[in-house]
Structure 1
Amino acid sequence: MGLFSRKTDAETAGTPDAVATADLANLTGEYTIDPTHSEIGFSVRHAMVTTVRGQFTEYEGSLKLDGTKPANSSAELKIKVVSIDTNQAQRDEHLRTGDFFDAASHPEITFRSTSAEQVDAETYRMHGDLTIKDTTKPVSIDFTFNGSATDPYGNLRVGFEGATTVNRGDWGLTYNAALEGGGVLISDKVKLTFDVSAIKAA
């Protein structure tokens, strides 16, 4: 079974308001990420004992899917740094300063794919350039295809979940503090997560 031929729960259940689409030709095309039904998140170890999670709430992105030749697929994403949200206002303000993202001078984080590949029946790997604070580094993100469906408004949607782990120091995000008992306040490793719902262009 190919990447784009996985049946969704809606299809197997036969629900009339979410008709799943397994036709490769129907899935090939241009898509716009729907931010109201998507999430771009991150998590990082704090004080060596817990994990702080957050997300960016303002962004826009597009996908180009090729159901018959996945290597021709591509993606672009622009994230507003000021929209960072860790559910703690003081921490969010600190993250917007020059100690971290410097939102005033570098208002956007961008990702532009450079290549794509199908790894297995349900996994799609996107390679691309991630730019933070005017520093661009390559990253690879593994996505799981969650299926496709036509919503009650007639929009063809596809869903993907993805994740990758990066070293924040590679983009100049080096702020830290030593702990009295050893170790550091913030881990260098950051997990990025993507839960994407995208709508096919008419």
Structure 2
Amino acid sequence: MFPHELTGTYTIDPAHSRFGFVARHAMITKVRGSLPLLKATAYLDAANPAASTVEVKLDAAGVNTGNPQRDGHLRTSDFLDAETHPHITFTSTGVKRIDDAAFEVTGPLTIRGITREITVPLEYTGTAIDAQGLTRAGFEGGTVINRKDYGVSFNAVLETGGVMISEKITLEFDLSAVKNV
């Protein structure tokens, strides 16, 4: 259940949130990575979820897969083109309640200067009062995008006939939102 006292403005806590991605490598394994949060805010309206909003800004140059050589390549024009397009952004245009804990958040996602509308299913995972007495609301979810829709077409053909990198990229979100006082 989404408690009515959660209505208010929130800041997404970068130390306790993750904006991640997963891509198939060589079509046999998965590579996981994340992007640092520069700024994210949300307005939650428990009585009228459609009035809720979310705005996120991520640092493309901070991409991290745990492999410095790969991360460097991901920053180039082959992938994120972080020098020309330093930010990945999302601003909601609609929030729909599916049930007491499930929501769909729709809006434009911009990667490499290319904007496409996506819908992200999110689950409300609960509320807590932290050690500083602040209200935290948790959400998790994800969606799948096609990287070619954002101008990321680099790939390599394998000897076995497959390709090095999947077109489908899974976006994963684990969010800790702190209510502004």
TM-score (norm 2): 0.98
CA displacement, residues 123-162 of structure 1 (integer Å, 9 cap, x when unaligned): 0110010001111000000001011111110111100001
Identity of aligned residues (%): 46
Question: Which 5+ residue runs of structure 2 have no aligned equivalent?
Answer: none
Maintained 8 Å contact 1:86/1:92: yes
CA distance in 1, matches of 2:108, 2:131: 35
Maintained 8 Å contact 1:143/1:161: yes
The residue aligned with 1:140 is 119
The residue aligned with 1:109 is 88
CA displacement, residues 88-119 of structure 1 (integer Å, 9 cap, x when unaligned): 00000000001111111100000000101001
CA distance in 2, matches of 1:105, 1:72: 34
Question: Which 5+ residue runs of structure 1 have no aligned equivalent?
Answer: 5-21
CA distance in 2, matches of 1:113, 1:58: 16
CA distance in 1, matches of 2:112, 2:56: 15
Q: 2:67 aligns with which of 74, 88, 92?
A: 88
Aligned residue pairs, count: 181
* Matching residue's letter, 1:33: I
- TM superposition outliers: structure 1 runs of 4+ over 3 Å: none
The residue aligned with 1:16 is none
The residue aligned with 1:78 is 57
Maintained 8 Å contact 2:11/2:177: yes
CA distance in 1, matches of 2:28, 2:130: 42
2:160 is equivalent to residue 181 of structure 1 = yes
RMSD, aligned CA? 0.8
Which structure: larger Rg?
A: 1
